[in-house]
Amino acid sequence: MATTTLARANTPRDRVDPAACWNLTAIYPDRAAWERDKEALGAAIPALQEHRGHLAESPARLREALDALMAVHQRHERLSHYAARWRDQDLGEAKPSAMADEMTRAGARIAAATAYLEPELLAIDEATLRAWVETPELRDYDRYVEAVLRKRPHVLTPAEETILANASTLAPSNYYTYSTFADSDLEPATFVDHAGNEVELGPANYRIYRQSHHRDDRKGAFDALWGKYHRYRNTFARLLSGAVTYNTFVARSRGYDSVLHMALHGNEVPVDFYDALIERVHEHLPSFHAYLKLRHRMLGIEGRQEYYDIYPSLAGPTDRSYPIDECYRATLEALAPLGDDYVARLAQAFLPDAGWIDVYPNKGKRSGAYMAGCYGLHPFVLLNHNDDFESLSTLAHEMGHAMHSVYSQERQPYPKHDYTIFVAEVASTLNEELLTEHLLATEPDEAAQRFLLSEYVNGFRGTVFRQIMFAEFEREIYAMLDRDEALTGEALDALYLSLLRRYHGHDDGVMHIDERYASEWAYIPHFYYGFYVYQYTSSNIASAALAERILGDDGSESAGRYVDALLSAGSARPPLDILGAAGVDLTDAAPYTTAFGKFDRYVERLSALA
């Protein structure tokens, strides 16, 4: 399988089977059409100024202005979508990156041209504005106006808003530089594997070797990759520091107490939720340590367990392959509890000519996986499929995002179709929960059950314990900047190493964490997103609780509630309210008890099968 993965990763884009690629003509028939739409956008942006000073005249005039704004946003979204999907197919190709940069600058022009809008809205009497959004003319904009009203303490004067809008072009620059450097320009790490082969270690095959049951291979992969990142840690630190500094500048300019306050405010999540979530996970670190001790025993490690021992399956080596067609079939079967309509829509996405999914790695392709939605279009899913179980799980995960977009676009108007990450990751991780439950229920072989249990608990480790460790790291780096401490490579290494050691029980002898792996933080792109990763943990807790309901006695009713209340909601309600309507209250202890209880049970089942 590793050989196949390497061959795919080194395949030029123009030699990849078109049936396994996106069909970008669904967005624009060709680049000339994109250029024409770009020109139309350029003409529409200045016209947004025509509504300045007229918003308070009547509901009809306000609707006219908001319709014009949304039309510009929708056009800009499609233009950006096309450029980004083309760019991510091959990061070494210059033209689409330039097009994406153009759209970043266009976004800044849109923000500058409409900098008057929020201050002018807030100048309208609040009672009057709330009455207006209850009228049929403005009903589609009730959540937009509510968001503006919530931001009242943080909206600046029109001149100040224009300055921030113009400065917003700086926002993605550090991330784009990081992504290009890490995925395209950074020279490959190399090591010699157990068979004497010299291996070029890139993102696509690093995960193959880190899961190897040849301990020298995974140690070699860790030492090579993290040694390379350590050599460039000061460069990565400058890039991350730039992103953190920009976000801090915006938060301070707008009068937020911190970037964390600003990020949670956008999700309508109480500020103390973040700290409480970290503390809830801290309470269950003994469960994590019990799992690590089981790994030590099941892997047959003599002496101390090392950090490079964290990834291999506890089921032993497996030659089981998961080609993409088999993954499509298994995903459809596993998600059947979500209803016939859900499965039928999903089946359409898997057709060879659908153009939804870019399946395999190729030379220069962006690493990892994601789903990108754009109103009025089918979703686009990026994979780097390696024919392994992780690839199957990734497919189910990303298609959860895709179906979320399908339902929300269908049932919500454009101003309310989008959803926050806080609920988005529930749609994806629920699919993973249902996949595991289906495979365990239909697999009679004990060795296969061991593998599935191993994958689940290791996935829980990654999504709950590891992601909340990332969340804690992110909280601390912003706190460091608030204390005027420099975010140097050495300082970030020290912080990350201390968290690695706490979470993995280093001081208690559970797992030894060598300081050479302290630069792992430089590998994580999510730190550029601004308090994103905590939502993986909260969503995994929510999805475990929802899965129990959907697979329980009232399964069809719970599935219907989930589709109607969450997948179809877009941003029509606050995220915590959406989750509550779907059947899970994350401010209550119950879903955490369910999630960590399931983790403990699966660890016990795995131990019994060992």
Question: If you write DSSP's letter for every residue of 408-420 in order, what string do you get?
Answer: HHHHS-GGG----
Q: What's the pLDDT at 401?
A: 97
β-bridge partners, 380: 372
Go through the domains of the chain in sequence order and give each one's CATH number. Answer: 22-170 (1.20.140.70)
- Residues 573-601: pLDDT tens digits? 999 999 999 999 998 888 999 999 999 99
- Helices 233-253 and 173-180, packing angle to 10 deg: 160
Burial class (CB in 10 A: 0-12, 13-18, 19+), 159: exposed
Q: Smallest Cα–Cα separation from 228: which of 461, 467, 610, 516? A: 516
- Residues 552-573: pLDDT tens digits? 877 799 999 999 999 999 999 9
- Residues 169-193: pLDDT tens digits? 888 899 999 988 888 788 889 999 9
Q: What's the pLDDT at 2?
A: 55
Q: How far apart are CA 281 and CA 536, in angstroms?
A: 13
Inter-residue contact 446 to 592 (CB < 8 Å): no
β-bridge partners, 200: 190
Inter-residue contact 241 to 252 (CB < 8 Å): no
Q: What is the mean pLDDT of the chain?
A: 93
Task: Check pLDDT > 90 for residue 8.
Answer: no
Structure tokens of 297? 């025993």
User: What percentage of residues in the chain have a pLDDT greater than 70?
Assistant: 98
Task: Check pLDDT > 60 for residue 528.
Answer: yes
Centre a 10 Å sphere on the Cβ of residue 311 and count the other Cβ atoms it contains. Answer: 18
Task: Check pLDDT > 90 for residue 502.
Answer: yes
Task: Check pLDDT > 70 for residue 508.
Answer: yes
Confidence category of residue 455, pLDDT binned at 50, 70, 90: confident
Q: How far apart are CA 398 and CA 380, in angstroms?
A: 10
Residue 330's identity, in one-letter code, is A
Residue 553's identity, in one-letter code, is D
Q: How far apart are CA 405 and CA 399, in angstroms?
A: 10
Q: What's the pLDDT at 151?
A: 87
Q: Smallest Cα–Cα separation from 292: which of 49, 506, 32? A: 506
Q: What's the pLDDT at 390?
A: 87
- Residues 18-47: pLDDT tens digits? 999 999 999 999 999 999 999 999 999 999
Q: What's the pLDDT at 106?
A: 96
Distances (CA, A) of 88 to 143, 208, 545: 32, 22, 35
Q: What's the pLDDT at 205?
A: 81
Task: Check pLDDT > 70 for residue 204.
Answer: no
- Residues 277-287: pLDDT tens digits? 999 999 999 99
Q: Of the ranges 98-112, 148-162, 409-423, 494-508, which one carries the lowest mean pLDDT score?
A: 148-162
Out of 187-191, 203-207, 535-539, give the one with best mean pLDDT.
535-539
Q: What's the pLDDT at 242?
A: 95
Q: What's the pLDDT at 317?
A: 59
The residues, any chain, with a CB within 8 Å of residue 11's CB and separated by 6 or more, are 360, 361, 362, 363
β-bridge partners, 382: 358, 370
Q: Smallest Cα–Cα separation from 543: which of 579, 511, 514, 576? A: 579
- Helices 340-349 and 324-334, packing angle to 10 deg: 170
Which residues are designated catalytic? 398
Q: What's the pLDDT at 6?
A: 62
Residue with tokens 């367990």: 305
Task: Check pLDDT > 60 for residue 164.
Answer: yes
Q: Smallest Cα–Cα separation from 406: which of 432, 381, 436, 434? A: 381
Q: What's the pLDDT at 255?
A: 95
Instruction: State whether residue 490 is helix, strand or coil.
Output: helix
Residue 158's identity, in one-letter code, is P
* pTM given for the model: 0.83
- Residues 372-409: pLDDT tens digits? 999 999 999 999 999 988 899 999 999 999 999 999 99
Higher pLDDT, 315 or 408: 408
Roughly how many angstroms between the first and final C-alpha of the chain, as a whole number?
26
Structure tokens of 193? 């594997």
**Mean pLDDT score, 297-313:** 94
Structure tokens of 164? 């921030």
Task: Give, as one character, the DSSP assignment of residue 567.
Answer: I
Out of 113-122, 169-178, 207-216, 493-502, give the one with best mean pLDDT.
493-502
Q: What's the pLDDT at 260?
A: 96
Q: What's the pLDDT at 5?
A: 64
Q: Smallest Cα–Cα separation from 70: which of 171, 103, 62, 33? A: 62
